[in-house]
Structure 1
Amino acid sequence: MFSYRHSFHAGNHGDVLKHICQMMLINKLKDKDKGFEYIDTHSGAGIYNLQSQEALKTQEFKQGIDCLTPHAINNAEANQYLELVTAYQKFNQYPGSPEIAKSMVRAQDKLTLMEWHPQEVKNLKHNLNGRNISIHHRDGFEGLVAMTPPALKRGLVLIDPPYELESEYQQVYETICKVYKRWSTGIFAIWYPLISEREVDEGSFSSTNSKLGKSQNLITQLSQQPFKNLLNVELCVTSPSRSGGMYGSGIAIINAPWQFDINIGECLQDIMPLLAQDSGATFNVEWLIQS
């Protein structure tokens, strides 16, 4: 369970979608002076070296952030993201979600960061520190349930497990259901991968047993819960292929702020063509539950 290291995937197109949404949600919370709590269940190392052995082995950042940085983009949200990221790229680095949150929060806000991987939590503690930051070496699912509701009533939870284990999809669903009952006013952003089916030599590969099927089932299950609202955002950079691999990703947002659907749609309209690997690239913004 300690095999996943996000350093192999830092700055890929999944990170682009996740971190733009994260920044937009934090901006919405900052519209009010009252403080809020940011909770990250799977924090990782916080900052990633794009010249590391891991990053260069996969070079996924070349199909993600590297597709955006050479271009001038009119969209304000995309530009804010690029301005932040390019400051790190000068040092061959990419900021993870904890570092992005740290760069945006105010003195009255609080960061709660959880990470279960022994080496990654050491890296996280080395990379991030501050008076309003608490770092916990614990399972993010268990920790989220234990720590809610937070003292600050307003807040954002980012949930983005590696989904290496099939059980993680069910853990996301069960954890959200428990936490929402305790903290129904929080904003919950749940990232998930869109991974194409793989051809197999024997028999058929049922989508309900595949990672793609698991993601689809997760969204279906969430859409059947009594949330105030549920917005689903998906970005696909290519068409699904039978060779397998992540062709896109999505974020399901519970308690999405007012006009977030419009804002993210306009942003994706501008960046999707730059991330597109072929004519199959697309995006979708859809209310699954609308108040």
Structure 2
Amino acid sequence: MNYRHSFHAGNSADVVKHSLLIALVRALQQKPGALTLIDTHSGCGLYDLRGDQAQRTGEAVQGVLRAFADANPLLDDYRAAVQAVNAGGEPHLYPGSPRILEQLLRPQDFLILNEKHAEDAMALRSAMRGTSAAVHERDAYELWLAMLPTRTSRGVVVVDPPYEQTDERARIAATLAAAHRKWAHGVSLIWYPLKDRAAHVRWKQQLRRLGIPKFLWVEHWLYDADQPGIYNGAGLFIINPPYAFTQALPPLLEALRAALAPEGHKGEIAADWLAD
């Protein structure tokens, strides 16, 4: 599956991913200690929803625009993060994870970004100009391990690959296992698309065998029944989520489900621990 973000910016997956990312970082920031935030597949950092690639799919209509039309206050933090890069009214720019993470930084926190594709890395540097973010242009999985343990005692690694390579899931599993050996207490968030339910179940079984104790999954299925051969939704693996985050998660997930359910579908969003 090829998931170049410029075609999909602001879709339902982004709404869920970025809502949960904001909630996760804010939960960690309830303690004053510094955080290192690392984004391994940063993309361009900022996307034009009126540009050719975003208009070609029109996915923002079913994502960020639905979230802006919804009145649930639990989505206020997400809407504020998007509004921060727009002049007002309906959003026409969409912040990727780098711009959202940059908004969350406190003076004591650090932000490390990485994008391997040269053209996207150039756009990322432009989008992050004037911020304190460090921008790398390296293999994402090499950088993931090289940055661990983080310079601060706590941190978050965000892994959001395009799933262009057939071995992407295998590389994630291998790197996650190695990262956990180096940084067992660290927090990681891994995004994935949901297309084939059976294949995804097999991948979860492989990840379960890694034996990581605090391994949460969150899955957002858009339709009431699987639609064969198409994108059905997206999910997140979250390793070592803080207690404050997991306690606040159920009402946020319900707010997201209700806001993003396609016409004629209730949709489903659920979370549970990946355990034997």
Q: TM-score range by the shorter chain?
A: over 0.9
Match of 1:176 in 2: 176
- Alignment partner, residue 279 of structure 1: 265
- Quote the Cα distance in structure 2 between the aligned partners of 1:171 and 1:114: 17
> Is the 8 Å Cα contact of residues 10 and 50 (structure 1) preserved in structure 2?
yes
Tell me how far apart the structure 2 counterparts of residues 244 and 88 of structure 1 sit (CA, whole Å).
35
TM-score scaled by structure 2? 0.92
Instruction: Give CA deviations for 1:11-64 in whole Å, capped at 9, x if unaligned.
Output: 111111111111111101211111110010100001101011000000111111
Q: Which digits, 9 at most, give the CA deviation of each residue in 1:151-189, with x for residues without a partner?
A: 112000111111122200101100100111111111011
8 Å CA contact retained: 2:3, 2:163: no
1:28 paired to 2:27: yes
Segment of structure 1 superposing worse, 64-73 or 81-90:
81-90
Deviation, 1:139, is: 1.1
- In structure 2, how many angstroms separate the alpha carbons of the residues matched to 1:246 and 1:239? 13
Which whole-Å deviations, capped at 9, do the CAs of 1:194-246 have from their partners, x for residues lacking one? 114xxxxxxxxxxxxxxx44433332222222323111111112135445221
SS at match of 1:267: helix
CA contact (8 A) 2:27 2:244 kept: no
Matched residues in 2 for 1:88 and 1:219: separation? 36
Q: Which one-letter code corresponds to 1:232 in the other structure?
A: W
Q: For the residues of structure 2 that align with 1:275 and 1:4, how far apart are their CA atoms? A: 20
CA contact (8 A) 2:16 2:256 kept: no
Letter in 1 for 2:211: P
Secondary structure, counterpart of 2:243 in structure 1: coil
Aligned counterpart, 2:212: 227
Once residues 82 and 102 of structure 1 are traced to their aligned partners in structure 2, the CA distance between those partners, rounded to angstroms, is 15
1:131 Cα deviation (Å)? 6.0
Matches within 5 A, 1:1-291: 5-75=4-74, 78-89=75-86, 90=88, 92-130=92-130, 132-196=132-196, 212-277=197-262, 278-289=264-275
Distance, in Å, in 1 between the alignment partners of 2:170 and 2:5 is 21
Task: Measure, in 2, the Cα distance between the counterparts of 1:67 and 1:131.
Answer: 30
> For residues 160 and 113 of structure 1, what CA distance do their matches in structure 2 show?
12
Q: Could you tell me how far 1:148 is from its partner in structure 2?
A: 1.1
Query: Which stretch has the larger CA shift, 225-234 or 214-223?
Result: 214-223
Matched residue SS, 1:246: coil
Secondary structure in structure 2 of the residue aligned to 1:225: coil
Which stretches in structure 1 are left out of the alignment for 5+ residues? 197-211
Kept in 1, the 8 Å contact 2:114–2:135? The answer is: yes
Contact 1:69–1:86 (8 Å) recurs in 2: no
| Aligned residues of 1:261 and 1:285 also touching (Cα < 8 A) | no
| Contact 1:169 1:215 survives alignment (8 Å) | no
Q: Is the 8 A contact 2:46 2:99 kept in 1?
A: yes
Structure 2 Cα separation of the partners of residues 162 and 213 of structure 1: 20
Distance of aligned partners of 1:29 and 1:259 in 2 relative to their CA distance in 1, 3 Å threshold: closer
2:38 maps to a residue whose letter is I
**Aligned amino acid, residue 85 of structure 1:** V
- Contact kept, 8 Å, 1:38 with 1:157, in 2: the verdict is yes
Instruction: Say if 1:153 and 1:185, in contact at 8 Å, map to a contact too.
Output: no
